[in-house]
A and B are shown apart, each in its own frame.
Chain A
Amino acid sequence: INAEYMGHKISDKVYVGLAGLATDNQTVYERIKFRSSLYKLREERDLSPKALASMISHMLYERRFGPWFTEPIIAGLDESNNPYVCAMDLLGADCIPGNFVVTGTCSESLYGCCESFWRPDLEPDELFETISQALLSALDRDCLAGWGATVVIITKDKSVTREIKCRQD
């Protein structure tokens, strides 16, 4: 997972990350939190990542002619604990590749790193190492990204958040 600001928790198994204009990130996150809380109250269950992605996609397209300048990533485990990752552009066009998604200022570098380091069926610890190496190598090459990284590993029993220190420039 990569986001310009920290990934935001929607539920134990679903996280959203927003990249782009910081003020819009904040506003969109507030709206997502509002809608997902309402969903939880009405449905008495947590949002699945697929439903959340659909919801955010609609939310962004509502503003088709004056968009939120934010590019979200949704990551989580669905009801059967299968991983789900989804990236969207600022108008809500989603992309569900099945392996990894990236967004943000250094997304090209991240594509290179992730494509090279990722392989299917990684254990949680291996995945953490893979993500960290990809993130750190990519953001070292981007002047706008940096100052550390936060990695969240979501498994069916728990989610572990680790903060990684890197070059503070």
Chain B
Amino acid sequence: VSTQSTWKSDRVALHKNIGLRVQWYEYQNNGAIPGVRSVSQMLSNMLYYRRFFPYYTFNLLAGVDENGEGVVFGYDAVGCTEPQKYGCSGSGNALIEPILDNQVLRQHQTKAGGEADFTMQEAVDLIKDAFTSAGERDIYTGDSVEIFVISKDGVKQENFPLKRD
């Protein structure tokens, strides 16, 4: 699952292109679905291909890799990426990132015993809290959030409403 923020026209164009390239991968590889690491590399290349007239998008690619581990790839506009445990992008980026730092890495919680291990429900609840907080303070964040829960069984989508202002 990939998402982008900022400029809508570039967003739509890039999204279509990614879809086409994934389809071609399947045709050329006997219907095999590309893993998230392959798609992440491809997206990085696609973005860098336009190094001197970039897609004005800040991407986030999420998926479950071959080992069954969840992984998130955050991108800048020209394709710099790395695998991460969590990431965010968009206007509420600065608001949500430290919340995730605190709750996932737990670097400043001395009694917590290291990084957090979430169940599906805990992770979704954390995201809902984070977006509710961002929705309060960021004027562009609001109305609703589409939450995609990706597991080895597939992708479940949930629409979570936020304050409509």
Interface on A for B, CB 8 Å cutoff? 106, 108-109, 111-113, 115-117, 132-134, 136-138, 140-141, 166
**How far, in whole Å, are A116 and B107 apart by their CA atoms in the complex?**
17
Known contacts A112-B134, A132-B108, A137 near B95 by CB under 8 Å: no
**Between-chain CB contacts (< 8 Å), 24 pairs:** A106-B94, A108-B94, A108-B95, A109-B94, A109-B97, A111-B137, A112-B92, A112-B97, A112-B130, A112-B134, A112-B137, A113-B98, A113-B99, A115-B133, A115-B136, A116-B99, A116-B133, A133-B102, A133-B108, A134-B102, A136-B102, A138-B98, A141-B94, A141-B97
Residues of chain A within 8 A of B102, CB atoms compared: 113, 117, 133-134, 136-137
Q: Are B99 and A137 in contact (CB under 8 A)?
A: yes
* Nearest CB of chain A from residue B55's CB, rounded to whole Å: 25
B109 interface contact, C-beta 8 A: yes
Residues of chain B within 8 A of A141, CB atoms compared: 94, 97-98, 101
Q: Are B98 and A140 in contact (CB under 8 A)?
A: yes
Q: Are A112 and B99 in contact (CB under 8 A)?
A: yes
Interface of A is mostly: helix
**How far, in whole Å, are A116 and B127 apart by their CA atoms in the complex?**
11
B26 interface contact, C-beta 8 A: no
B96 interface contact, C-beta 8 A: yes
Residue among A111, A132, A140, A166 making CB contact with B95, cutoff 8 Å: A111
Residues of chain A within 8 A of B134, CB atoms compared: 112, 115
* Nearest CB of chain B from residue A34's CB, rounded to whole Å: 35
Known contacts A116-B129, A116-B130, A109 near B108 by CB under 8 Å: no
**How far, in whole Å, are A130 and B133 apart by their CA atoms in the complex?**
15
* Nearest CB of chain B from residue A119's CB, rounded to whole Å: 12
Q: A108-B94, A116-B130 are in contact. List 6 more A-B contacts (CB 8 A).
A: A108-B137, A112-B94, A112-B97, A115-B136, A117-B102, A140-B107
Residues of chain A within 8 A of B97, CB atoms compared: 109, 112, 141
**How far, in whole Å, are A109 and B107 apart by their CA atoms in the complex?**
16
**How far, in whole Å, are A106 and B129 apart by their CA atoms in the complex?**
20
* Nearest CB of chain B from residue A135's CB, rounded to whole Å: 9
* Nearest CB of chain A from residue B136's CB, rounded to whole Å: 5
Q: Mark B88-131, 1 if CB is under 8 A from A, else 0.
A: 00001011111101100001110000000000000000000110
Residues of chain B within 8 A of A108, CB atoms compared: 94-95, 137
Residues of chain B within 8 A of A137, CB atoms compared: 98-99, 101-102, 108
